[in-house]
A and B are shown apart, each in its own frame.
Chain A
Amino acid sequence: AQSVAQPEDQVNVAEGNPLTVKCTYSVSGNPYLFWYVQYPNRGLQFLLKYITGDNLVKGSYGFEAEFNKSQTSFHLKKPSALVSDSALYFCAVRDPDNAGNMLTFGGGTRLMVKP
């Protein structure tokens, strides 16, 4: 069975500072990995994904994520945080061989960016 862990319930960062939101996964075989963001009163939005290739993937709103196979991690990063980045972030994993493409989500990390 596949699983995702987000060890931090909340991450606090000052505006302009770099941010990292952590994610580790457990899956047999090579994973497909995703980050989604949930703003207040909005639906989840896709941010970025890792399928194969370059370990550093770039996504929306200046976010990027680094896939590390040896550490089974897929941490979300941004060089300079904005107050508007404050939201709930979810890491997710998908079994590439599953035709249904169902996602298994982590518990979420609340990012608070303070001015």
Chain B
Amino acid sequence: DTGVSQNPRHKITKRGQNVTFRCDPISEHNRLYWYRQTLGQGPEFLTYFQNEAQLEKSRLLSDRFSAERPKGSFSTLEIQRTEQGDSAMYLCASSPRGGARDPDGGELFFGEGSRLTVL
């Protein structure tokens, strides 16, 4: 399967611990996105990369969150000092193209997500 891969699929941690999620996008996709989805809600944008550059971050991404895409391929999302409010599904998506006025921008390929439970 050459789709978007996310690991781990499930993570249970205690409050105050650090967690890291990994996303492997579809190869050749230069755009990579992180979204967060809580129960009963739609996905909310967190941040996005074009190649290795992190170009935009949502206000939802507090100082405890950091994302990287060091070689423009896989990406990691780290949450430090987790809080119970961080419990959610963290979704990664990639896209081969996009840009202002690009009609193909917004067609995202999503992974299955990484579910975080903070006790």
A-side interface residues toward B, CB under 8 Å?
4, 6, 32, 34, 36, 41-46, 49, 51-52, 90, 92, 94, 96-108
Contact = CB atoms under 8 A, between A and B. Distances in A.
A92 B42 CA distance: 9
B107 A102 contact: no
Interface of A, helix, strand, loop or mixed by DSSP: loop
Contacts of B98: 99-101
Contacts, number: 77
Given A32-B103, A46-B108, A90-B42, A101 B31 contact: yes
A8 B105 CA distance: 27
Contacts of B48: 100, 102
A73 B56 CA distance: 28
Interface in B19-36: 31, 33
Interface of B, helix, strand, loop or mixed by DSSP: loop
Given A41-B112, A42-B112, A43-B91, A100 B56 contact: yes
Nearest to A97: B100
Nearest to B56: A100
Interface residues of B, number: 31
A98 B4 CA distance: 24
Interface of B: 3-4, 31, 33, 40-45, 48, 55-56, 91, 93, 95, 98-103, 105-113
B42 A107 contact: yes
Q: Which of B55, B93, B95, B110 has the most CB of A within 10 A?
A: B110
A46 B105 CA distance: 12
A105 to B, nearest CB: 3
A34 B42 CA distance: 13
A94 B91 CA distance: 18
A113 to B, nearest CB: 21
Given A44-B93, A45-B110, 13 more contacts: A32-B103, A32-B105, A43-B109, A44-B43, A94-B105, A97-B100, A98-B100, A99-B55, A101-B31, A101-B98, A101-B105, A101-B106, A102-B48
Given A46-B107, A100-B56, A105 B102 contact: no
